[in-house]
């Protein structure tokens, strides 16, 4: 056959096929397509069942409503039942029935609402916001209404960390500001018990350091001279062999008179050994310390009871600290304290509380606390400022404690999140106690070795609160 004849035959065949198709179309016949011939037999769809979840636009537009509505043309919106599998993603071709589980895998019991609503489905589906329902597998514990479930992937992604409840010793630091003061128990007043005249001053400056027995001034006192003369007469009477109790009583009385005038024992021995009556007396210092007050000058006439010097031993000093009224129960006698002086900031000094004063300052609502500090070198000066840190609390008794990050405290609600494993967390009300070193005492609510959440607590707490709120919203109102 020639090429011309073959072309004519092909054109005739095409024309005949077109004419035949036109005739079949005119008579209502439809030829099966290739896709139809190769497609499997469709499965019979089950009728929708369950309660109405929401309503959607009758034209398939992405509009939804929780209540029945009508379109502008009067058509009612379409009700979507619980069993219907609605996908908001055109590419999502989720099967209407649950696919078979692979061998060895856990069997899905049902799917629950991702927002915690009282709505379940036997097949995978999405809620009205497009969120996938969460599968619940066989063997999982039933939700008791107290725990919140977080997927393990979300736990890892949000950085949830836990720590065991343990016993530890808590010593809460209480901070205060104090001032260095004299140790009142180490102060000594220098005075005489008879009238006299100061003839010489050996210590003439305030702040001068003196030692016990060191002479302070030279005094002439007629009363002391008269007592010394009586003592000498009594000694000579006894020395001449005058017998009798009267002579002995006279000697003892003369010696006691000198002691009543505060004449030093060294002067009494001197008079007794030498039998002389010195005109003046070099008055010795009764204590070792610093002269903090001097009220005598050379040539002054002094009277019995006049305060001439005040001496204070500064080998031990006080720090008077003001603490807040709220911290007062934490401080007691014997509480250790670290005192940092502004002049020696790098060298804190350890001391302890020796007194909690019995009154508060009405203006500042603070209590005064006294701390004793050793000062052997004398470098701590009176009226220095000091920063005080008290190690408050019972430092010997261990208590149950959790990290401070684990406690959620709104002021009226104190909660920790207890990890029950498998991504389950239980918000549990607790009764907190004192805080120290980044930990807080838990007096009620948890037990030893339970694990509490220490990181991402607000994320889990927010989910717990949302779950509780939705449960309260969906639960039927109790009959009145």
Q: Domain residue spans in the chain?
A: 3-38, 157-169+398-474, 173-183+314-392, 195-305
Cβ contacts of residue 428 below 8 Å, gap of 6+?
415, 416, 417, 418, 445, 446
* 173-183+314-392 and 157-169+398-474 share a CATH fold: no
Rounded CA-CA distance 105/121 in Å is 20
Rounded CA-CA distance 54/71 in Å is 15
Rounded CA-CA distance 439/59 in Å is 60
Phi, psi of 268, rounded to the nearest 5 degrees = -65, -40
Q: What is the pLDDT along the chain (480 residues), one digit of tens a residue?
A: 444 444 444 444 444 444 444 444 444 444 444 334 444 444 444 567 777 777 888 877 767 777 888 888 888 888 877 766 544 444 444 434 445 545 455 677 778 777 666 577 888 888 877 888 888 776 554 555 556 666 556 656 666 788 888 888 877 788 999 999 999 999 999 999 999 999 999 999 999 999 999 999 999 999 999 999 999 999 888 877 665 677 788 889 999 999 999 999 999 999 999 989 999 999 999 999 999 999 999 999 999 999 999 999 999 999 999 999 988 888 889 888 999 998 899 999 999 999 999 999 989 899 999 999 999 888 999 999 999 999 876 556 788 899 888 888 877 788 888 887 767 778 888 999 877 778 888 998 888 888 888 876 666 656 555 455 444 444 444 454
Task: Quote the pTM value.
Answer: 0.53
Among 15, 9, 150, smallest CA distance to 460 is for 150
CATH number belonging to the domain at 157-169+398-474, selected among 2.40.420.20, 3.50.50.60, 3.20.20.150, 3.30.9.10: 2.40.420.20
Reported CATH class of domain 173-183+314-392: mainly beta
């Amino acid at each position: 056959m020639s090429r011309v004849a073959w072309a004519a035959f092909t054109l005739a065949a095409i024309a005949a096929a077109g004419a035949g198709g036109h005739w079949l179309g005119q008579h209502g016949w439809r030829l099966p397509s290739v896709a139809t011939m190769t497609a499997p037999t469709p499965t019979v769809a089950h009728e929708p069942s369950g309660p109405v979840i929401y309503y959607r636009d009758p034209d398939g537009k992405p509009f939804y409503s929780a209540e029945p509505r009508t379109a502008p043309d009067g058509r009612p919106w379409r009700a979507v039942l619980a069993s219907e599998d609605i996908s908001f993603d055109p590419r999502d071709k989720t099967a209407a029935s649950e696919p078979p589980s692979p061998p060895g895998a856990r069997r899905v019991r049902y799917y629950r609402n991702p927002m915690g609503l009282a709505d379940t489905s036997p097949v995978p589906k999405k809620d009205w916001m497009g969120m996938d329902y969460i599968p619940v597998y066989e063997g999982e514990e039933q939700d008791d209404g107290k725990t919140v479930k977080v997927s393990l992937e979300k736990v890892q992604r949000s950085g949830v960390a836990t720590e065991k409840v343990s016993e530890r010793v808590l010593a809460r630091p209480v901070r205060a500001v104090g001032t260095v003061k004299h140790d009142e128990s180490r102060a000594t007043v220098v005075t005489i018990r008879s009238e006299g005249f100061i003839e010489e001053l050996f210590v003439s400056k305030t702040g001068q350091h003196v030692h016990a027995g060191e002479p302070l001034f030279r005094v002439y006192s007629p009363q002391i001279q008269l007592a010394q003369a009586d003592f000498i007469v009594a000694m000579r009477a006894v020395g001449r062999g005058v017998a009798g109790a009267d002579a002995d009583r006279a000697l003892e009385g003369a010696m006691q008179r000198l002691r009543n005038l505060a004449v030093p024992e060294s002067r009494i021995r001197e008079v007794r050994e030498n039998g002389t009556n010195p005109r003046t007396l070099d008055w010795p210092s009764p204590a070792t310390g610093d002269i903090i007050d001097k009220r005598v000058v050379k040539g002054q006439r002094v009277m019995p009871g006049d305060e001439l010097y005040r001496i204070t031993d500064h080998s031990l000093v006080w720090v008077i600290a003001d603490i807040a009224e709220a911290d007062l129960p934490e401080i007691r006698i014997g509480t250790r304290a670290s005192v940092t002086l502004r002049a020696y900031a790098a060298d804190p000094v350890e001391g302890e509380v020796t007194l909690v004063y019995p009154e508060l300052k009405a203006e500042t609502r603070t209590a005064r606390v006294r701390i004793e500090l050793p000062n052997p070198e004398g470098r701590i000066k009176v009226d220095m400022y000091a920063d005080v840190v008290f190690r408050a609390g019972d430092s010997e008794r261990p208590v149950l404690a959790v990290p401070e990050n684990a406690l959620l405290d709104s002021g009226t609600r104190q909660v920790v999140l207890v990890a029950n494993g498998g991504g389950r967390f239980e918000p549990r009300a607790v009764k907190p106690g004192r805080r120290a070193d980044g930990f807080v005492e838990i007096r009620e609510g948890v037990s030893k070795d339970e694990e509490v959440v220490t990181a991402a607590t607000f994320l889990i707490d927010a989910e717990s609160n949302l779950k509780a709120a939705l449960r309260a919203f969906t639960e039927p109102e109790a009959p009145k």
